[in-house]
Structure 1
Amino acid sequence: MLPSNILILPGWQNSTEGHWQTEWEQAYGYRRVEQHDWLTPKRGDWCARLEEVVADADGPVVLAAHSLGCILVAWWAAHSPNARKVRGALLVAPGDVERPEVAEQIRGWTPIARQALPFAAVLAASSDDPYCTLERARELAGHWGARFVDIGAQGHANAASGLGLWPAGHALLRSLAAPQEGEG
């Protein structure tokens, strides 16, 4: 799989220096899906941008989403015919936009889509994430049909968590990007 077919989907406010998504983009050449507005995200705008990038992709894609990016993947997959082009998705530290304190900051992202994703997925969650409890992350993984991975106490699994290149997360991503049985 080409690095350009691995798409980085940051959450609210984008991923900064030191964030594992930025580290992966720089080290491996993965492609960040740029959004028009990182500070006041609109679900429809973000979905339209993801739709455009996946539709234009040459071949299957793998998604590496963080926080609001996870919520984006679930909503987009429920509405896009191009979801069939996704081989798999790594969903890290989903932001629980249905929690009142989060919903106040990020409006228009409820309800969270709760259908099974039409592609393989792994949801990796931290036991001390201030934006989504481990129990809630496990519940979302169940709705989405994603394999659940507890990554321990890593906060919001962002730059402040100090994960760097995060080899364990990259191994999860690589397992989703591996050719499927019967592919050349």
Structure 2
Amino acid sequence: MPTTPPIVLHPGWQNSGPEHWQSHWQASQPGSSRVPQTDWDHPDLDDWIQTLDKHLAQQAQPALLACHSLGCLTLLHWLAHYPQHHHRIAGALLVAPADVERDNAPAEIQGFAPIPRQRLPFPSIVVASDNDPYCQLARSQQLAQHWGSGFYLLTGAGHINAQSGLAHWPKGLALLQGLANQQSVLG
């Protein structure tokens, strides 16, 4: 009997605080874990990729990733560096990917440009908001298309973070868990 894949959470720049949906999921989902980046405020692409790789290697089976903002781009860069490790991922929920290529991107995150545009070899869904100040809706849709991801729109949810008021965000968790079913059909 197949077991449920572990949930791995990868926050973005400055981590996810206690009211963020990622923190709620970590507290409520047995066996879930957060990628332990050493410096959330001054992200270094190479460090973040290495930390993600080590964390995924520690999982007993392919994981479901729930990435937010810069965490989404970390996953894409990780895959570009370690394409042979794609089997470590059962599926990925890419929530509010950060547009690090935009003109007003903060200096702290510009090192994550350019945004990788390869097709993902595992099931994925991009979740975007129509009023995200860090990635315009058309850009999120374009990235989803490049990545071969499904697309889910939240209306008026901003950057889909703690300020969005999603709390436990059961619909997001259902989207993530649905990716495991897609993997079993594909694999």
Same fold (TM over 0.5): yes
Equivalent residue number for residue 129 of structure 2: 126
Where does structure 2 lack aligned partners over 5 or more consecutive residues? none
- Post-superposition shift, 1:27? 1.1
**Per-residue Cα deviation, 1:96-135 (whole angstroms, up to 9, x for no partner):** 0001211434231110000001111000000000000000
Where does structure 1 lack aligned partners over 5 or more consecutive residues? none
Paired residues for 1:90-129 under 5 Å: 90-129=93-132
Match of 1:181 among 167, 178, 185: 185
- Post-superposition shift, 1:79? 1.8
- Post-superposition shift, 1:182? 8.5
Equivalent residue number for residue 165 of structure 2: 162
Instruction: Report the Cα distance in structure 1 between the residues aligned to 2:135 and 2:110, rounded to whole angstroms.
Output: 16
The 3-state SS of whatever aligns with 1:95 is coil
Instruction: Report the Cα distance in structure 1 between the residues aligned to 2:48 and 2:11, rounded to whole angstroms.
Output: 11
Equivalent residue number for residue 172 of structure 1: 175
The 3-state SS of whatever aligns with 1:107 is helix
Equivalent residue number for residue 78 of structure 1: 80
Task: Tell me the TM-score normalized by structure 1.
Answer: 0.94
**Is the 1:88–1:177 Cα contact (8 Å) retained in structure 2?**
yes
- Post-superposition shift, 1:151? 1.2
Structure 1 runs of 4+ off > 6 angstroms? Answer: none
Number of residue pairs matched by the alignment: 182
Instruction: Report the Cα distance in structure 2 between the residues aligned to 1:2 and 1:119, rounded to whole angstroms.
Output: 16
**Is the 1:54–1:82 Cα contact (8 Å) retained in structure 2?**
no
Equivalent residue number for residue 41 of structure 1: 43
- Post-superposition shift, 1:177? 2.4
Q: Percent identity?
A: 45
Task: Tell me the TM-score normalized by structure 2.
Answer: 0.92
The 3-state SS of whatever aligns with 1:150 is strand
Instruction: Report the Cα distance in structure 2 between the residues aligned to 1:11 and 1:145, rounded to whole angstroms.
Output: 22
**Is the 1:121–1:176 Cα contact (8 Å) retained in structure 2?**
yes
**Per-residue Cα deviation, 1:22-41 (whole angstroms, up to 9, x for no partner):** 00001113200110100000
Q: CA RMSD in A?
A: 1.5
What amino acid sits opposite 1:94 in the alignment? P
- Post-superposition shift, 1:2? 4.9
**Is the 1:78–1:117 Cα contact (8 Å) retained in structure 2?**
no
**Is the 1:77–1:118 Cα contact (8 Å) retained in structure 2?**
no
The 3-state SS of whatever aligns with 2:152 is strand
Equivalent residue number for residue 14 of structure 1: 15
**Is the 2:101–2:110 Cα contact (8 Å) retained in structure 1?**
no
